[in-house]
């Protein structure tokens, strides 16, 4: 299981630990990933996704999973999130 947000594509970054004596050793900064179930209003079901805390705030700010995916860039989304986005677009066409 990779440490990448399924909605924003945010992944690990690298940097340095810097000691008081200014010694530098390499380290990884991992994203704050959470396993959450987001509800789709148009599809009337929940989707379990592994997303970062920042992405969760963005989903709430935009008004839910449906609104977030409609504005999201396809390159940032995981395969599962792209599948949900396609299902939403099919539901819009049928409605």
Give the sign of the dihedral formed by CA 37, CA 39, CA 43, CA 45.
positive
Among all chains, which residue has been given the structure tokens 């008004």?
Answer: 63
What does the block give as tokens for 28?
Answer: 């990884």
71 vs 2, residue with greater confidence? 71
Q: Could you tell me the pTM of the whole model?
A: 0.87
Average pLDDT in the 36-45 region? Answer: 95
CA-CA-CA-CA torsion sign (89, 35, 32, 2): negative
Report the chain's mean pLDDT, rounded to a whole number. Answer: 95
User: Considering only CA atoms, which of 78, 85, 81, 84 is closest in space to residue 10?
Assistant: 78
Domains of the chain: total: 1
For residue 39, the enclosing domain spans 13-94
Q: Is residue 90 part of a domain?
A: yes
Domain annotation covers residue 86: yes
**Which CATH number characterizes residue 31's domain?**
2.30.170.40
42 has a pLDDT exceeding 90 = yes
Q: Residue 95: its pLDDT value, please?
A: 67
80 located within any domain? yes
Q: How confident is the model at residue 50 (pLDDT cuts 50, 70, 90)?
A: very high
- Residue 10: partners with Cβ closer than 8 Å, 6 or more residues away: 4, 31, 52, 54, 55
d(CA 85, CA 68): 10
Examine residue 71 and state whether it is found in any structural domain, yes or no.
Answer: yes
The reply to whether 5 falls in a domain is: no
Digit-coded pLDDT (tens) for 54-95: 999 999 999 999 999 999 999 999 999 999 999 999 998 886
């Amino acid at each position: 299981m990779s440490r990448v947000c399924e909605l924003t594509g945010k992944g690990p970054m690298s940097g340095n630990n810097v000691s008081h004596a200014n010694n530098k050793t390499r380290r990884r900064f991992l994203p704050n990933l959470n396993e959450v179930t987001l509800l789709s209003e148009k599809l009337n079901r929940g989707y379990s996704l592994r997303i970062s805390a920042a992405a969760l705030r963005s989903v709430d700010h935009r008004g839910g999973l449906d609104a977030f995916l409609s504005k999201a860039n396809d390159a940032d989304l995981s395969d599962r999130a792209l599948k949900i986005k396609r299902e939403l677009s099919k539901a819009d066409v049928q409605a």
